Structure formats: C-alpha cells, structure tokens
Structure 1
Amino acid sequence: MYLSAKIFDSEATYTFHVTSPGLHWIRLYFYPLQNNEFNLQTAKFSVSVDTLVLLRDYQMEKNEPVMKEFLVNVTTERYAIKFAPSQGSIAFANAIEFVTAPGKLLDYSVPLLFPVSQKFDLSTSNFETTYRLNVGGAYLDATNDTLGRSWLSDEPFRNSATGQVVTVQPSVIQYPTAGGSPLIAPPTVYSSAVKMADSETTIPNFNISWTMDIDTSYTYLIRLHFCDIISKSLNELYFNVYINDKMAISGLDLSSLTQQLSTAFYKDFVIDASSASNPLSVKVSPVNDVQGFKNAILNGLEVFRMNNSMGSLDGQYGVDGTKSSGPSKTVAYVGFAMMFGAFVGLGAIVFKWQKRPQDWQKRNSFSSWLLPLHAGDTSFMAGSKASLSRKSQFFSSNMGLGRYFSFAELSDATNNWESTAIIGVGGFGNVYYGEIDDGTKVAVKRGNPQSEQGINEFQTEIQMLSKLRHRHLVSLIGYCDENTEMILVYEFMQNGPFRDHLYGKNFPPLTWKQRLEICIGSARGLHYLHTGASTAIIHRDVKTTNILLDENLVAKMADFGLSKDCLANETHVSTAVKGSFGYLDPEYFRKQQLTDKSDVYSFGVVLLEALCARPAINPSLPREQVNLAEWGMQWKKKGLLDKIIDPTLVGQINPESMKKFGEAAEKCLAEYGADRPSMGDVLWNLEYALQLQEASLQGKAEEENKASSSPVSPAIVTPTPAPVPAPSTPDNRPVSTPEQTRNPAELQTIDDHSGTKMFDQFGALNGR
C-alpha cells in the first residue's frame, strides 16, 4: 500500500456509505514517496471528518511509513473524510481504511482514575490510538488480529530490570462467557506477559513499570489486559495496579473475576486532562501483606487519546477554526453537570420523603457470629412443604451454587446435627461446625422450617454468594435442597468474628499491626463489592461480627443476607431501613436511600471498635458514652483520641499511624454521604497508617541493634515516629528501603496530602 500515493493540491473529500452507525475504525497510511514534482516530505495538511479534527497541520517527521488509527463514533449514513493542504503546501495519503468496529468493543461507562468512584460517559467520544502494546511479546502485525490492529512490543517502554517475560501457547487462552472475546484482544496478546523478575524480593513497593509520553492537554482512555498464565492454582496471584502513581486496582485477584486460569480479562480507566501527567506511567506490584505467592503481571496495554471539547484530536482548534478553552472549560462543564444533578437528586429525595411508608422507622438487629441472618419485616410461614421444596429447587438449579450435598452427608458432617456443633444462631436457623468427606472444615447453615424469619435474607445470600468470589469474602462451598431442607455450606473461619478478638472473649489481645491488617482486609472485601462485581453491591450490615478471621487472621466479609444490588446508573437504592444499631448510617435512616457510602459509615464504626475495643452500643455506660461513633468523634475533635484507646495498645501505636487512622474513621463517619470517602480512599489511608506503623517498628529495631552492638552503653533513645527518609545512591537517586512497606501515595489521601512533600520519597522511586 505504500508503493503509491494520492496527492492533493486543494481540498479533497472521500465519502463512505455507512450501513450500520456506531463505532468505526479509520486508518490513514502515509509514506513520503520520491516524486519529481512534489516533495512529500515537506507536505503539511489537515484531515477532518464532519465536525471532528483528526490531524491539524500534520507533517511527516521521518522518511518512513506511518499509520494513524482512529476510532470514531459515526451517527450518519454518509461519512466524509476531508484532506485540506495547509497554505502553500499539499496533502497526500497512501491508503485509507474505514472499517466497522464491533459494538461491544467499548463499555460506554468507564471509571475515572480520579476522582475515584466516578464514571466517564464515552458514548459521544472519539479516539486516536496512541499506544497498543503486546506486553512480553513481539510485534504483531494486522494479520494476527481479527480487527486488523497492530501491536507493538512493550520492551522500549518497560523498565526491563524488574520484569521477566513469560509465554504460553495461544491455544490455552480462554475467554469468559460474558465480557470478553478475541475482538477485545487476540489470544497471542494474552499468551505473553511480564511478571516480577524477583518475586521473592523483600524490597517494599517493588514493581514493574511502563512509561509513555502523552499530551496532557487531552483526556485518555487506558485499557489494561490481564491473563493469569503463571499460577498453578486459583487464588495465588494478588497484586495492585497503578496509573500515574494513583491506585487503579487494589488487590487484583484474577481468580475472583474469571473463576479459572489462563482466562482473558481487561479493565478500562479514563484519565481526565485536569489530572493527566507526562509521561504516563503504569505499574503493577505484589500486595506486600498477603502471605504466600507474591507476583504481578501485565499482558497488554492500550492508550487512546480522546477528542477535546472543540472536537479535535490534534490541537486546540475545531474544524471551523474556533479554539478550545482547554481543560478548564471541560472542568467547568463537568462542575455544572454535577451541580445540576445535585438539584435533580435533591428534588427526588424530597419527593421520596413525602411518599415514605408509615413504618419507615422499623429496623432490625441481632445476629449470630457466622453469616448471621436478621429478623425482617417480611416473614416465611412454614405451611406448604411443596412450596418450600420448589423454592429451594429453583435456587439450586439456576444459581450455580457449587457442590450438591445430600442431607445424609451433612448429617454425618455435623455429627447428626449435634447441639455441641452449633457455632452460631441466626434468624433462619442454626450454624454448625462440620467436616465433609475430604476432611475440609465447613460451616453449615441449616434453615429452620418453623422459623418465620429470614427467608428473604436467606434467598438474598444465595443470590449474592453464587456470583461473588474474592480473597476477602467468605466463600460458598455448596448447598442442599433435599425435601424441605434449605442448607448452605461455607468455608469455616477458624478464628471466628473480629469482635471476639477485641472484647468479650478470652483471646490474646491483637497488636496494632494485626488490627490494621484486619481492617485493610475487610476494606478490600467491601471495595470489591462496591466496584469489582458486575453490579455494585451494598453490604448493608458491616460490623465486627460480620468480619470473620481464618487461621492466619486474614479477614473476610460475611453475611450477605441484607445486601442490595445497585445498577451502574443508579446513585442509590430506595429501600426499607435495615441494619444494626450503632452501625446504621444516619442519612440512610432519615431518607431510606441506600448508597455505598452507607457501608462506609458502618466501616467507620468498625475502625473505632478496632481502636477502642468496645461495642458500638453499650447501654450500661454513661449516656454520653453509649454510642461509640458519637463518643469517639467527640474525643477526636479534641485531639485526644489516644485517651480512649484499648489499654492493651498503650505505648505500641506510632502517633502518626494513629493520627492517619483517626482521620480515616472521622471521614467515614461524616454526617452526609457526599462528604464520606469511597472504600478505595479508606483502604489506602489504612495502608498508609500501616506503613507508618511498620516504619516506626523498623526504626525501633535498628536503634536496638545499634545499642546492642555499641561498646559503650548508650542513652535510651526514642525513635522519631515519622517515616524514615529514603537513602540516596551516589547520583542522588533515592532507593527503596524496608521502611517503605507500602505506597499509599498511589491514591490521594482523605486529607488531600497527595501533592505534599511527605510523598516525595515514593514518587521518586521511578518504578523500582
């Protein structure tokens, strides 16, 4: 195609007939052939389509072939591509490609990298391909891609010292039944990856990084491709993903998303022009606080420039010559839209308030320690045996609940439902400890046919657990629906509920580091519910009894009986108020409108419980101390939160760690949901609190080592609790140290310190 060219000394237009409006690829091919009459090397021209500028005053930089690829949204039956020479120059093209793109190539609602928890509407956007990288693999030309795309090798963009290439046969790559196909990326892309060169390193924040130059006056769509081709079994790989040093994906567990190895997965993000920086960086890093297999991978990476407010992909001028006002104008538009949405939302709230049911103040609590169920305002009358059997059979045949157990098998597992095996009592029935035939320890929840409580919650839990798999969510193993029985079988959590380790039981007191790690684990589980599932899920009953601990004190969220789905385009769910006293979001209680920020409020109470080791509600205390959230925030506002902490923690908490922890709790407990952070924000502030604590412990250990090795008895030294500064190499480049166990700077902290000097030591690591 580069052996001939069409030359234009005036405007020229190519018109295409469109049979199906929607996304289309436009590929323009240029090569400055030798010509006796015209010098194509100096040709300067613009290319536009309707009201979109593709190229403005474009000129070849090198004497070599160039292909420009665009993805445009076509809404008309005739589509014209216009070439316009600049004054005194010419235009040319070697080839033009105009191809229909599959409709499912893009999800039109894509999360913004920042601010978190916000979506960007791509339905009217147009794109230019800036980078398309086959990570860990060689260059792929258009013949290797169903859609005719070319994939560059990632090697020129990768910090090769920290990454190691791994490949498998493309034939082993699988695609999920929903949400993936070779049209997203071919198997060859997913069959290669870059993993950690040294997965056993003890250097914190160790990662693999890629950097690419971009124009920061534009907004960008980033597509990340993943496929676990390095694990031997499920749930081994667990890592973080950063874009521009901000957390994009926290604790990515591909097994939870694909349910099998060697299965393609991709994730899109939008970086707004107002928060873009050059160069663009993408990093993957193991999660440091997870025991076992530590690694991180990336299989493919695509970067697309999006048109600005003037409809241009090249420059600040539109087709008609008017100039874009730049990012500030975009921000103004977004601000106006948000303000307008707020007014509309306020009107809806007022309407809902006027239409509220008369019994809106009713609420429930009281739950058992393992996946408890709650009394509800709905009831189940155990009249018809056939009715219950049909209902349970419906769930088992349609929900994919794992292994089917016979009633006899579960009777054997629980010693014939022996009373001594009961480990919890809920609204629907008892929870038993058991061991199934392969020796696996399980928790068995058996529905009581005589119970008039909990049937709706029980059904909800079935529906939720059948589609959720995550390291920090309790897993469903199987079920039994024999005759009138409705029984669910879960993994057994050996150390029971978090609350039992804080107060009320004779367990050894948890250290501050252990409490932080438990809070971080449960925050990861909630963050997955809010953002990682196919639809956002609001737990609605977050509390310390619903955070269960396994034999290694790894935290997992439990009890999904009150959970609610929230569709992507819904800001809230209007529902009767349910939850537990002391944890209930006051805004949800007033308005009956449930949002993910209701979980955030409840989690704030959990944070105070972890710090103070007392119940959320304690009627035996003086009136001002009954409610932990109110009492704790009174002390926080005085700056005296350290006065009410668990006595067993006195002297072991780094002051900066507790300060960050207290700030996170305070933000969670804000009166209005709009003022509360997302769970992603909370998670990384907790990570930062843990980093501060570990840095302090490391400092103390170093001081003790110095003291023991000194020939002279030194004076007692109290180490400074602030993070230890990074040392420098001879060329003044910071290096990573064991004190830097995490990088909470990857996401803006709740108190907006992300741009201050405290994060400089992290930002300067340059991917190592």
Structure 2
Amino acid sequence: MADAGVESPSFNVTWRLEVDPSFGYLVRLHFCDIVSKSLNDLYFNVYVNGLTAISGLDLSAITDGLAVPYYKDLVLNASVAGDRITVQVGPTREDTGRADALLNGIEVLKMSNSVESLDGEFGVDGKKEEEGGPNRRAVAAVGFAMMFGAFAGLGAMAVKWYKRPQDWERRNSFSSWLLPIHAGHSSFMTTSKGSGFGSHKSGGYTFSSTLGLGRYFSLAELQAATKGFDQNAIIGVGGFGNVYLGELDDGTQVAVKRGNPQSEQGITEFQTEIQMLSKLRHRHLVSLIGYCDENAEMILVYEYMANGPFRDHIYGKDLAPLSWKQRLEICIGAARGLHYLHTGTAQGIIHRDVKTTNILLDDNFVAKVSDFGLSKDAPGMNQTHVSTAVKGSFGYLDPEYFRCQQLTDKSDVYSFGVVLLEALCARPAINPALPREQVSLAEWAMQWKRKGLLEKIIDPNLAGTINKDSLSKFAEAAEKCLAEYGVDRPSMGDVLWNLEYALQLQDANPPAAAAASESPPASVSASASASASASANSSASDAEERAEPALAASRGVDADSNSVVSNELFAQLAGMKGR
C-alpha cells in the first residue's frame, strides 16, 4: 500500500478470484514482511469474502523477526465461496502502527464436493444426484467408519498413556514430545511429565519423515545394530552419552549416540540436535540419519565418520601425524561448516561448542562439524547478542561470553581460533599439569606470536614442512580470532578466506623436500621444550568440562584483566575428571 501511495486506514487492497460454485476451497495466504524497518511496526487485517479472517495481524510477533516467510490456511465451504473469492488486506482501525498492509501470494485449491467429484455434483444429463443414491450412502458409510476409527484410536492412546511405565516418573528427563503437524513455524512442545502420546513403539506411525526429521528407529533396531550396546562398540564419549559404532540391516555403518540418564544434558539438547540437523544440510556438517525415543531412551543416529575426531590425529593417540596441508584442509572444511551455520539460515545458528573433538573426519579426511546439542539461534536483526547461561568447554570459551553471558557468532570464532592453535602446536587447549603461564594454549601461543617466535612451539612433526608465508597468514588468522572482544574478531567468512589463502601460499611454494630431514629448530627455552613434550602426551579429557553457570558465578575474573583463567578457575580445573 505504501508503494501505491494509498496509506489510509479506510483503504483496502482487494483481489477477486473467479471459481466454480458448489465447491469448497482451501485458500493459502503467503506473507513476508520485507518493508518494515523494525519489529511490531506493521499491523493489518485480512478479509475473505467480506468477513474478517485475521484481525490485527503482526507478522513480527509470529515469526520473531523480519523478512521471515509465513503462511495461513483458510477453508471456505461451498455456501461461502459462491462463484467468487474476494481477498482483502487493509490497515487496522486502531492507532497501533503505520497504515499499511501486505500480501505476497495467494493459493486457491479446489476441494472435492459431496459426491467426491471435482467436476460438479450434476451428471451429464443435467440431473442432480438423488439424496439417497448409492454414492451418497457410500460416502456417508465411509465417513462414519473413519470417525469411529478416529475415536477408537484416541481412546487407545488415552489408555496407553495412563498405563505408561511408572519408572518414567523417576527419570529426570523424558523422551516423548509432540511433533506438531500444522505448517508455519513448527516447534517441539513438551510438558513436565511427557506428551499426551506416550513414547513411540516399534511399528507405530510417526510423523518424523513428513516433517523432515529423519528416520525413526525402534529400540530393537538399534540394539541389533550395536549388538546390545556392546561396550566394545563404543567409539567415543561425550557430554550427552556414549557413541557406538552400529551397522544397519542394509550394511550401512552408523554412529549411534545414546543419552546417559546421569548426564547434565537431556531432553533439551536431544530436541535441539534433531531440530538443528533436520533443517541443515551441508558437506561439512555431520548428517543426522534418524533418532529413537522409545521407552524413555534418547538416541541419535548419525553418518559414521571413519577417521574420528580431528584431535585424535594431532595428539593423544598413536596415529600417523597429519601433514601441514592436511591440517589446513581440515581447518578450511570446518570453517566452511561454521560459516554455513552462521549465514545459511534466515537467522543464523551459533554452535557454542566448537572444539577439535566436535570436528569429525570421514574416510577421506573431509572435516564435518558435529554435536549441535548446545546450539542457539543467533540474535535477531535488532539484537546484538543472546543472553544465556555459560555453556561450552574450558579452554575454548570466549572470554567476553564467559564474563558477560552474552553470546554472539563471534564466540564460535574465538573457539575456532583455539582449534587453529591446536592444529599448529599439537597440544590441548587446557593442560593444568603445566606451569601456570602455559596452561591456556591461547594465551601461551599468543605470547610467542607477539615475540615473533611462534614457529618455535609448533608440532615437531611439522618442522621444516611449512612455508613461512603460509604459517604467517595462518597465525594471523588465529590471532584475529582470539581478540579479547567480539567486535574486534573477524567473521567466519573472513577466517575462511585467510585459511584458503594460507593453503594457496603453501601449494605455491612448498619447502624443499630436503628441509624435512633437517634438524628441528633449537629450543628457545627449557620451558617451551618441556611444554611441547608434555602437551603431546597429555589427555585433553582432563582439561575440558561443560562450563556451568555456577562456575561462571565463581570465576573471579576482573573485567579489565586479559587473563581468561583466574585463580578460582584453576581450583576448578585441578579436580576435573573429564566429560
């Protein structure tokens, strides 16, 4: 309306659509507010055939943002539709915003009439069907049968719910949750004691495939795939629970992550993981194959990543060391996955737990970002951050997020900077066994970077194999990621560009093959040599824990201090046993 110069509270924009009489119609109205400058600024009414269909529609209140598509379905019966459908939009009469309205699209779908025909209820001879004709009676019989079946099904579900296993009440988490099948902006809905449908059972019907949530697995299928969750099949342990190697009936190998009832993560992380991965598809993100929530279980099934976590290939495991080019390509792949997370959806997603154990490698060493249980939607257009309790892993936490509990996509950038240093130096992000100035990899490495001596603490396996310009560009990217304040850090797109440039520099002028056989550079100090040796053999699991809000409250970090790890935090780290 604003573009047409008719911003008037008494003016409506009208569409008239000719239709066949004697039929009902499904009218789908499409909206997308691409004209408003701020939230809650546009209110308008929608009328269909002279009747108010939607009063005071505020798209931003429904979609929680601007420029987000939304649609509304309306059904008109034959008596209302007639031979014309009129759709109008116009401003509300109240002073609730500017006088404007919009409608981006209309779909009109004809529905079959009372004799199950889309061609009218009259025969070719022009005579109307008899009221008691065989077709009419057949339709009525089918209708009554369907209604009876629906009531019987609802009754069976109610009985099943009241007879559910009593040990559900003793569980801290529950598995059953409603999956709304209506369109628009679907979300998971839960209650404190579970949903009205009870948990899935083998062979039960599920809406997961129609909603794009992946395949629903029965518990029996996953028990068979993992040989009864055999301890020998465990290939990893995380904050959510154990990860098992499984094999489906068709021979496909999968990773099966089974929730641990004693874990600090529960139904929220389970739902978040399914929601996030069901709407994300990217070469550098681990794919969700399906899930199971039968009998109070919370199980996620992913594609199997044959080469495991990135961390295992740089320290802590007796595996062949990766070349500098391989490490660059893995970092680039992970950066592409994170860049897609931040920019690939309308609002963007913050991973919140970026680390080397959450970067998995397939059989071709292609990197894929995993574990989205802590992920959060990025702040909206009119927000600078998301206020939330501190969660993540020590050593990777953005100090600004740690102090202020204000989450942004730059928090992922900081964590990724620590990943870059792990790839270069082959040591954990946190190692409490080392002297205090060496405990935090980010602080320790940046001290050497500022001295211009970063090459002295790199992985000995890389000595003589890195092009000096490539190392300089890589170190520059890591340093920018680790800036104290988020506003000073680059976007993941900028980080990706710098890493790709570092790879080009390495390919353009690789060091001579003879350089690899030369003796490594002399140690600049006993502390640097000792720390490199201790780092290579230390277990990262002793250094990482989920950062709970209670720790954040007791961290004792001064706002003007450049140190992320305080005395109080050291006390917490000393007694850690791993995730």
Normalized against structure 1, the TM-score is what?
Answer: 0.42
Show the 5 A alignment for 1:545-584: 545-569=357-381, 570-584=383-397
2:256 is matched with: 444
**For residue 419 of structure 1, what is the aligned residue in structure 2?**
231
Letter in 1 for 2:268: N
Over 3 Å counting, the alpha-carbon distance change for 1:428 and 1:645 in structure 2 is: closer
Q: How does 1:503-514 map to 2 (within 5 A)?
A: 503-514=315-326
Partner of 1:284: none
Match of 1:474 in 2: 286
Contact 1:22 1:103 in 2 (8 A): no
Distance 1:423 1:478 in 2: 19
- In structure 1, the residue corresponding to 2:390 is in which secondary structure? coil
**Match of residue 399, structure 2, among 583, 586, 590:** 586
Amino acid of the structure 2 residue aligned with 1:471: R
Q: Distance in 1 between matches of 2:399 and 2:207?
A: 34
The alignment partner of 1:483 has SS state of: helix
Task: Assess if the C-alpha contact under 8 Å between 2:388 and 2:405 holds in 1.
Answer: yes
1:381 aligns with 2:172: yes
Task: Give the alignment of 1:181-260 within 5 angstroms.
Answer: none
* Offset of residue 427 of structure 1: 3.7
2:468 corresponds, among 631, 655, 679, to 655
The answer on whether the counterparts of 2:474 and 2:499 sit within 8 Å (CA) in structure 1 is yes
Identity of counterpart residues, as a percentage?
72
Structure 2 partner of 1:517:
329
2:355 corresponds to: 543
In the alignment, does 2:450 pair up with 1:637?
Answer: yes
- Look up the match of 1:310: none
Q: Secondary structure at the match of 1:445?
A: strand
Give the corresponding residue for 2:274: 462
5+ residue gaps, structure 1 = 1-20, 25-72, 80-101, 110-118, 125-177, 182-378, 705-768
Matches within 5 A, 1:75-154: 75=7, 107=34
Structure 2 letter corresponding to 1:693 = Q
Q: Is the 8 A contact 1:404 1:478 kept in 2?
A: yes
Conserved 8 A contact 1:434-1:441: yes
How far apart are the structure 1 equivalents of 2:227 and 2:208? 25
**Cα distance per residue 1:399-447 (max 9 Å; x no partner):** 5321122222111111121111111223443211011112111001122
Q: Residue in 2 aligned with 1:498?
A: 310
The Cα shift of 1:74 comes to 6.6
Write the letter of the residue equivalent to 1:653: I
Higher helix share: 2
Partner of 2:427, secondary structure, is: coil
Does the C-alpha gap of structure 1 residues 650 and 395 become closer, same or farther in structure 2, counting only changes over 3 Å? farther
The whole-number CA distance in structure 1 between the counterparts of 2:379 and 2:207 is 22
1-side partners of 2:340 and 2:199: how far apart?
28
| Residue 676 (structure 1) aligned with residue 489 (structure 2) | yes
Conserved? CA contact 2:290–2:302, under 8 Å? yes
1:546-587 deviation line (CA, Å, top 9, x unaligned): 000000110010111111012431321000011111000000
Offset of 1:76 from its aligned partner?
6.3
How far 1:682 moved relative to its partner?
Answer: 0.4
The 8 Å contact of residues 380 and 454 in structure 1, kept in 2 or not, is answered as no
- In 2, the alpha carbon distance for the partners of 1:473 and 1:600 equals 17
**Where does 1:40-439 land on structure 2 (aligned, <5 Å)?**
75=7, 107=34, 381=172, 387=193, 396=208, 400-439=212-251
Separation (CA, whole Å) in 2 of partners of 1:691 and 1:380: 54
Q: Does the 8 Å contact 1:382/1:452 carry over to 2? A: no
**Cα pair distance change 1:442/1:502, threshold 3 Å:** same
Native 8 Å contact 1:399 1:463 kept in 2: no
Q: Could you say which residue in structure 2 is the equivalent of 1:529?
A: 341
Shift of 1:542: 0.5
Distance 1:684 1:74 in 2: 47
Indicate whether 1:688 and 2:501 are aligned: yes
How far apart are the structure 1 equivalents of 2:396 and 2:478?
13
Following superposition, the deviation at residue 22 of structure 1 comes to 3.8
Q: CA deviation at 1:602?
A: 0.5
Residues 384 and 533 (structure 1), Cα distance of their counterparts in 2 relative to 1, 3 Å cut: closer
CA shift at 1:694, angstroms? 0.6
Whether the 8 Å contact between 2:470 and 2:505 is mirrored in structure 1 is yes
Tell me, in whole angstroms, the C-alpha distance in 2 between the residues paired with 1:534 and 1:635.
Answer: 40
Q: 1:488 aligns to what SS in structure 2?
A: strand
User: Is residue 176–residue 199 contact of structure 2 (8 Å, CA) maintained in 1?
Assistant: no
Residue aligned with 1:685, SS: helix
Q: Deviations over 1:199-227 (max 9, x none)?
A: xxxxxxxxxxxxxxxxxxxxxxxxxxxxx
Determine which structure has the larger strand proportion and give its number: 1
C-alpha change, 1:588 and 1:449, in structure 2 (3 Å) is: closer
Secondary structure of 1:489's aligned partner = strand
- Inter-partner Cα distance in structure 2 for 1:676 and 1:401: 35
The answer to whether the Cα contact below 8 Å between 1:441 and 1:491 also exists between their aligned partners in 2 is yes
Aligned residue number for residue 485 of structure 1: 297
Instruction: For residues 297-352 of structure 1, give each alpha carbon's deviation from its aligned partner in whole angstroms, at most 9, with x where no partner exists.
Output: xxxxxxxxxxxxxxxxxxxxxxxxxxxxxxxxxxxxxxxxxxxxxxxxxxxxxxxx
Whether 1:605 aligns to 2:418 is yes
**Which shifted more, 603-612 or 400-409?**
400-409
Partner of 2:306, secondary structure, is coil
Tell whether the 8 Å contact from 1:449 to 1:484 is kept in structure 2 after alignment.
Answer: no
Residues of 2 paired with 1:398 and 1:380: CA distance? 30
RMSD over equivalenced CA pairs, Å: 3.5
Aligned to 2:436, which of 619, 623, 626? 623
CA deviation profile, 1:120-155 (whole Å, cap 9, x unmatched): 99x99xxxxxxxxxxxxxxxxxxxxxxxxxxxxxxx
- Give how far 1:392 is off: 6.0
Change (3 A) 1:448 1:602: closer
User: Whole-Å Cα distance in 1 between the matches of residues 290 and 483 of structure 2?
Assistant: 40
Query: Larger deviation: 438-447 or 594-603?
Result: 438-447
Instruction: Tell me the amino acid that sits aligned with residue 565 of structure 1.
Output: D
Paired amino acid for 2:243:
V
- Classify 1:430/1:524 alpha carbon distance in 2 versus 1 (closer, same or farther; 3 Å): same
Which segment drifts farther, 628-637 or 383-392? 383-392
Please report the TM-score for the alignment, with normalisation by the length of structure 2.
0.56
Q: CA deviation at 1:605?
A: 0.4
Are the aligned partners of 1:422 and 1:433 in contact in 2 as well (CA < 8 Å)?
Answer: yes
Aligned to 1:666: 479
The equivalent of 1:136 in structure 2 is: none
Relative to structure 1, the CA distance from residue 649 to residue 409 in structure 2 (aligned partners, 3 Å threshold; closer, same or farther) is same
C-alpha distance after superposition, 1:663-684 (max 9, x if no partner): 1101000000000000000000
**How far apart in 2 are the matches of 1:452 and 1:392?**
22
CA displacement, residues 691-747 of structure 1 (integer Å, 9 cap, x when unaligned): 1001013x969x99xxxxxxxxxxxxxxxxxxxxxxxxxxxxxxxxxxxxxxxxxxx
User: Which whole-Å CA distance do the structure 2 matches of 1:423 and 1:611 have between them?
Assistant: 25
- Could you say which residue in structure 1 is the equivalent of 2:23? none
Q: Distance in 2 between matches of 1:512 and 1:526?
A: 21
Q: Is contact 1:600–1:676 with CA below 8 Å preserved after alignment?
A: yes
Amino acid at match of 2:334: S
Aligned to 2:118: none
Tell me the amino acid that sits aligned with residue 678 of structure 1: S
